[in-house]
């Protein structure tokens, strides 16, 4: 007979080790931007500046149509672009 663990007792690994993940993220940001004038804030400012630059060009000039959201609502170009830019900024090769 197999015992089934209740869903409430199963913790996702990311939540279980959140303090470790937080410490690794802090250490990475401190090492990456050590000695820069604005530090880790640059990793947030760059995607925002790119978003403000690319949104008018992609949405209004090129007429790019974003995919719909998961709940069926019409997609927002700026949201899709920001997610892509932010994920690229935090990637190992970004």
Give the side-chain half-sphere CA count within 13 A for 71.
2
Reported as a single tens digit per residue, the pLDDT across 14-27 is 677 888 888 988 88
Query: Where is pLDDT greater, at 36 or 55?
Result: 55
The helix (H) or strand (E) run that includes residue 10 is none
Report pLDDT for 46: 78
| Spacing of C-alpha 9 from chain mean position | 28
Give residue-wise pLDDT tens across range 70-89. Answer: 888 888 888 888 777 777 66
DSSP labels, 22-65: HHHHHHHHHHHTTT-SSGGGHHHHHHHHHHHHHHIIIIIIS---
Domain range annotation of the chain:
7-89
């Amino acid at each position: 007979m197999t015992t089934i663990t209740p869903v409430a007792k199963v913790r996702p690994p990311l939540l279980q080790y959140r303090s470790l993940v937080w410490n690794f993220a802090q250490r990475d940001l401190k090492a990456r931007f050590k000695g820069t004038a604005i530090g880790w804030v640059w990793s947030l400012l760059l995607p925002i500046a790119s978003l403000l630059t690319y949104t008018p060009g992609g949405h209004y000039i090129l007429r790019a149509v974003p995919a719909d959201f998961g709940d069926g609502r019409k997609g927002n170009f700026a949201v899709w672009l920001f997610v892509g830019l932010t994920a690229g900024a935090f990637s190992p090769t970004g």
